[in-house]
Amino acid sequence: MKQRQLGNTGLRVSAIGLGCMGLSYGYGPATDKQAAIKLIQSAVEQGVTFFDTAEAYGLNEELVGEALKPYRDKVVIATKFGFRHGDVTAGLDSRPERIREVAEASLKRLKTDRIDLFYQHRVDLTVPIEDVAGTVKDLIQQGKVKHFGLSEAGVATIRRAHAVQPLAALQSEYSLWWREPEQEILPVIEELGIGFVPFSPLGKGFLTGAINENTQFDSSDFRNLVPRFAEESRSANQALVDLLGDIAASKQATRGQIALAWLLAKKPWIVPIPGTTKLHRLEENIGAANVQLTPGEVSNIDAAFSRITVQGDRYPASLQARVGR
């Protein structure tokens, strides 16, 4: 698979990464451990070198660490700090002592001697971002961390953090049904030389066409709490999936591959991290790196999708308050 560089810090990764959260957290029951390890290792064997996890994803770091141990020097592992006790329901905590504590614990769980990319999971307004960036800078100088990143941060925070410790990447949601980063975020990170890592590039599965208004989610699936996944919203948003299907058919690709290829065609420093628990979906996602969209095709897709109004907020109010700060 082709490689891409995230920002000006020299961090090179595969054009498509693997978001590992869903293997053990967020989307229902955890995947069988051996099956999850097989999927992660299959990704490596197919050219994926960029893997995303977090302290807050349950046992995910342990899983990723075990799966990638045989390939450690060939891959880039990203993880995150920022929640009190590593629990997303317990509130934010990016105090310097907590960041250092998470770094040590994550190194052990990941079975490694360095974290390649260490993100602040969500901006903690009680801790100056300069203190956060300074703490990660210290960890970089100690060799425990290689690169610094933010997730779902706003423009002012990005600039302030970057001035203390250059950011390799910003990770935020971006896809054909959530294009808000185009307004302010993408121009600023391009100006500063920061890479962009879109999570949920397939709209949490919706853009693949595998979900419709009749889909029933597991009781532990967080999409049950997301307004955009309410039954009436899914019905209203079906127009997006239908349009994507028409485009995919014309390119002899799948809906998911077009959604990912669109992101790749936007900027050379964008690296999406689709997640999956299924080997055939992994192979499909990886195949998106070979789908070429011309500038004209990208413009046509932009225009067509701009004519459709997406129904439903992407987060419930309590979670929306944590983004863009």
For the full predicted model, state whether its pTM sits above 0.95: yes
Residues written for the chain: 325
Burial class of 295 by CB neighbour count within 10 A (0 to 12, 13 to 18, 19+): exposed
pLDDT reported for residue 320? 85
**Contact of 82 with 93, CB cutoff 8 Å:** yes
Percent of the chain residues topping a pLDDT of 70: 100
CA atoms in the 13 A half-sphere facing the CB of 170: 28
Q: Average per-residue pLDDT in the chain? A: 96
Tokens (6 digits) for 219: 């009781």
pLDDT at 182 over 90: yes
Tokens (6 digits) for 324: 């863009």
Q: Which pLDDT tens digit goes with each residue over 29-84? A: 999 999 999 999 999 999 999 999 999 999 999 999 999 999 999 999 999 999 99
pLDDT reported for residue 207? 96
pLDDT at 317 over 90: no
> Which residues are known catalytic residues?
57
**Contact of 41 with 50, CB cutoff 8 Å:** no
Closest among 183, 199, 222, 188 to 80, alpha carbons compared: 199
pLDDT reported for residue 205? 95
**Contact of 26 with 59, CB cutoff 8 Å:** no
Mean pLDDT of 307-311: 92
pLDDT reported for residue 321? 82
302 pLDDT tier (thresholds 50, 70, 90)? very high
pLDDT reported for residue 88? 93
Q: Which pLDDT tens digit goes with each residue over 147-171? A: 999 999 999 999 999 999 999 999 9
pLDDT at 311 over 90: yes
pLDDT at 322 over 90: no
Q: Which pLDDT tens digit goes with each residue over 259-300? A: 999 999 999 999 999 999 999 999 999 999 999 999 999 999
pLDDT reported for residue 19? 98
Listing from the earlier edge strand, what are the strands of the sheet with 115-120? Answer: 18-19, 50-52, 76-81, 115-120, 145-151, 167-173, 195-199
315 pLDDT tier (thresholds 50, 70, 90)? confident
The CATH code of domain 3-320 reads 3.20.20.100
Tokens (6 digits) for 294: 């011309």
**Contact of 78 with 149, CB cutoff 8 Å:** yes
pLDDT at 108 over 90: yes
Alpha-carbon distance of 119 to 97, in angstroms, equals: 16
Write the DSSP assignment of 112-130 as a string of letters: SS-EEEEEESS--TTS-HH
Q: Which pLDDT tens digit goes with each residue over 219-252? A: 999 999 999 999 999 999 999 999 999 999 999 9
**Contact of 165 with 159, CB cutoff 8 Å:** no
